[in-house]
A and B are shown apart, each in its own frame.
Chain A
Amino acid sequence: MLNVKDLHVSYKGIKALRGVSLHVEEGEMVALIGSNGAGKSTLLNALSNMVRRKSGDIVFAGRETRGQSAHTVARQGLLHVPEGRQILADMSVYENLLVGQIALGSRTTRYTLEHVYELFPVLEERRDQIAGTLSGGQQQMLAIGRALMGGPKLLLLDEPSLGLSPLITDQVFNALTKLNQEGLTVLLVEQNALRALEATSRAYVLDRGLITHEGPSAALAGDQTIIDSYLGA
C-alpha cells in the first residue's frame, strides 16, 4: 500500500528526516512512535505532499507521488488527519463531512454518511452544530469521519489522542480498531506510545529523523530500551 525509501526532508534548513524507509501493507495498522521533534509530523506531511521532500521515494498504491500536489494525493485515497484536527471551525458538522467527500471524486467507498454516523453517533446528533463549538473529542471524531468520507485507502493519523481524556481516547481508539478490522489500512503517529503499541500490530520508532527500531508492536512494547525511552517508568 505504502512504500517509503530513503526519505530526506529538510524543514527551514533543519534536516528533519534523514533517510527514512518504511512500508505499510494493505489491511495493516502500523504505529509510528517517537518523542517530540523526532520528525513524526514531518513524515506524515511529506507522505501527503504538504512538505516537499529533498530526496527519496514514496510509492502509494503503486504510484510514485513525487511532484503531485497535496489535493491530488488526497484524491487518490491517501487521507491525512492532521495534528490538532484542523476541522473547518466556521462550518457545520454536516458541511465538514461534505467537504470531506471531495477527495472521493468519482471513486466509490464503503464509508458512507450513514457509516460515519454509525461509527460516531455524536456527529449525527450534532449534525447542524458549528464545528468549532464541538469538544476536543468530538472534533477528533469529526476529523476522522471527514477523512472517511473521502474514501481512504490509507489513513494517516497524527496524534489523535492529543488533549483528550483517557475515556474519550478509548472511544477514538476503539473506533480506529473497528475500522482496521473492517479492512482499513492505518498509519498511526502517537506520542502516547503505550496506547499506540497496544492498538497496532507493527511499529516503527523514529528518533531525530531516523528509524531506530521496527518490529511487531508487542515485541517493541517489551524491549527495555523502548520502555526506558518512550513508555515511561
Chain B
Amino acid sequence: MLSQQILNGLVTGSVYALFSLGFTLIFGVQKLLNFAHGATFMAGAFIAYYCTISGMPFLLAIGLSMVATGVIGIVVDLVAFRPLRKRGNAEFPALVSSIGVDLVLISIAQQVSKTQVLNFPFGTFPVKFFNFLGLRISLLQIVILATVAVLVVLLIFYLKKTSFGRQVRAVATNERAAALLGVNVQSVFLQTFFIAGALAGLAGVLIGLLFNSMQFLMGEPYMLRAFVVVVIGGLGSVPGAIVASLMLGVMQSLTVAYLPSGLTDAIIFTLLFIVLLIRPNGLFGDANAVAGGTRQ
C-alpha cells in the first residue's frame, strides 16, 4: 500500500516537474516570475480537449496543443514582459502584468467552456493496468513517467550540450556579458518562453488525462505548487525543480492516503517553511543564484 502510494506520488510529481521546469527556466533566464504559467497549463489541456472532440487523432491534438501553448508563452513574453524590461526594474511590474495575462486566459477559457468541467471522451487513452511486485500501474502512468523522463533528459541535453543551450545558460548567468559576446538575448528569451509554454501545455494534457477532469481554474493550484517546488528546489535550478517536484508529489499522495485530506496544503507549506529555515536558498540553490544576484 505504501509503495503503491509512493508510485502514484511519483507519477503526479513527474507532471509537477514538467510544469515547474518551465517556470524555473524563465526565472533562471529572466529573473522574472511568470504567473501566466498556470493558465498556459490549463490552455494546454483545453486545446487538446477541443481538438480531440472535434475528431483529431489524440497524438496530433497533443502536438498541436504543445505548439499552441509554446506560442502563448511567446505572446506572454512579447506582451507582458518585453515592454517592461525595456524600462528596467521589471520584477514587480512583470509579476502584475503576467497575472493579468493569466486572468485573460482564464476568462477566455471560462467563456469557451461555459464554466463546465470537461472530460476527455472515454477511450481517448487506452485504459489498461499492469500488476507487478504487488503494484498496480496503469498504461497512462507508465507513459507519463516515460514521457517526462525523456523530456527531462532532452532538456538537460539541450541546456548542457548544444550551442543554443549554452546561450540560454550564458544569459541566465550574466545577461550583459552574453550580449557583448554576440548572444541575441531577446531570441533566447523567446526560446525559453516557447519551451516553458510547451512543457506547461503538455503537463496540462497529462493532468487532464490522469484525473480526467479539466476546468478553467485548474492551473491555479498548480501554479502555487510550482512556486513551492521552485523555491524548495532553488530558484532557477533545473535539478532542484525535478527533485522537489517528485518530493512534493510523493508527500501529497501520502498525506492524502493517510491523513485527513484538508491537511495536504498545510503539510506542503510546512515543508516549504522548514526547508527555507534550513536552506534559505533552496535545496539546490546557491546564495549567488537568488533573484538578480550579480555574479563576478
B167, B177, B179, B180: most-surrounded residue (chain A CB, <10 A): B180
Chain A residues positioned under 8 Å from B166 (CB to CB): 91, 95, 98-99
**B181→A90 contact, CB < 8 A:** no
**B181→A150 contact, CB < 8 A:** yes
Chain A residues positioned under 8 Å from B179 (CB to CB): 50, 69-71, 74
Q: Of the 9-residue stretches A20-28, A81-89, A118-126, A207-215, which lies at the interface with chain B? A: A81-89
Interface residues of B toward A: which range?
20 to 34
Q: Is A75 an interface residue (CB 8 A)?
A: yes
**B177→A100 contact, CB < 8 A:** no
**B167→A102 contact, CB < 8 A:** yes
Give complex CA distance A84, B183 in Å. 19
Give complex CA distance A75, B187 in Å. 15
Give complex CA distance A72, B178 in Å. 12
Q: Is B173 an interface residue (CB 8 A)?
A: yes
Give complex CA distance A38, B32 in Å. 34
Residues of A at the B interface (CB closer than 8 Å) are 48, 50, 69-71, 74-75, 79-80, 82, 84-91, 95, 98-100, 102-105, 132, 146-147, 150
CB distance from A8 to the nearest CB of B (A): 21
Give which listed residue, A84, A86, A105, contacts B180 with CB less than 8 A.
A86
Given A50-B176, A82-B176, A71-B295 contact (CB < 8 Å): no
Q: A-B contact count, CB below 8 Å?
A: 79
Give which listed residue, A80, A89, A100, contacts B295 with CB less than 8 A.
A89
Q: Mark B173-200, 1 if CB is under 8 A from A, else 0.
A: 1101111111111100000000000000
Chain B residues positioned under 8 Å from A98 (CB to CB): 163, 166
Give complex CA distance A74, B169 in Å. 19
Given A86-B176, A89-B296, A102-B181 contact (CB < 8 Å): yes
**A99→B174 contact, CB < 8 A:** no
Give complex CA distance A74, B163 in Å. 17
By secondary structure, the B interface counts as helix
Give complex CA distance A100, B182 in Å. 8
**A88→B180 contact, CB < 8 A:** no
Give complex CA distance A206, B176 in Å. 25
**B176→A74 contact, CB < 8 A:** no
Chain B residues positioned under 8 Å from A88 (CB to CB): 169-170, 173-174, 177-178
Quick one: closest B residue to A136, CB to CB? B296
Given A99-B183, A102-B163, A87-B169 contact (CB < 8 Å): no
Chain A residues positioned under 8 Å from B163 (CB to CB): 98, 102
Give complex CA distance A165, B220 in Å. 55
Chain B residues positioned under 8 Å from A150 (CB to CB): 181-182
Give complex CA distance A74, B176 in Å. 12
> Which residues of chain B in 147-180 are interfacial with respect to chain A, using CB atoms and an 8 Å cutoff?
163, 166-167, 169-170, 173-174, 176-180
Given A88-B170, A89-B295, A102-B163, A82-B177 contact (CB < 8 Å): yes
Give which listed residue, A71, A80, A103, A105, contacts B185 with CB less than 8 A.
A71
Given A82-B176, A88-B173, A90-B173, A100-B296 contact (CB < 8 Å): no
**A146→B181 contact, CB < 8 A:** yes
